[in-house]
Amino acid sequence: MEPDSLPTEVILTHSRQSLGSMKLDWAPQPGNYVDFEGKTYAVLERRHRYQLRAGRYRLQKIALYVQSAIRPSEKSLVAGRWVIGDATCRYNACSEIMRCAVNPDGPCETCRYYESA
């Protein structure tokens, strides 16, 4: 195993079914997207699994709880993090997972409910 990569188990959230494992050199946060076996998944939750070795706990692997998703084409940078959609809209959820309540599938540019915040 390379020193900067950790075994990462990918698990479907709703069925708790393991899709398999891969090695990542980064730790995806909830709201990030990962590609696994040709499909794109949104990360909903990340759990760390530790192992006690020589009197110290060491990070052994990461478990990602995901759901199938389509990578959004519209993103805005808000307070140092990327959110889906146009963050200047009053209805934008300012979330990495959900665009807004009135038009969750988008796109923002042609939405009839757009109101400047």
Task: Give average pLDDT by consecutive 10-residue segment, the chain, 117 residues.
Answer: 75 91 88 89 92 92 91 78 83 83 81 82
* pLDDT value for 1: 44
Helix (H) or strand (E) holding 35: strand 33-36
* pLDDT value for 57: 94
Domain boundaries defined on the chain: 6-68, 72-117
* pLDDT value for 95: 82
* Residue 95 neighbours by CB under 8 Å, 6+ apart: 31, 83, 84
* pLDDT value for 64: 95
* Residue 111 neighbours by CB under 8 Å, 6+ apart: 89, 102, 103
Whole-model pTM?
Answer: 0.68
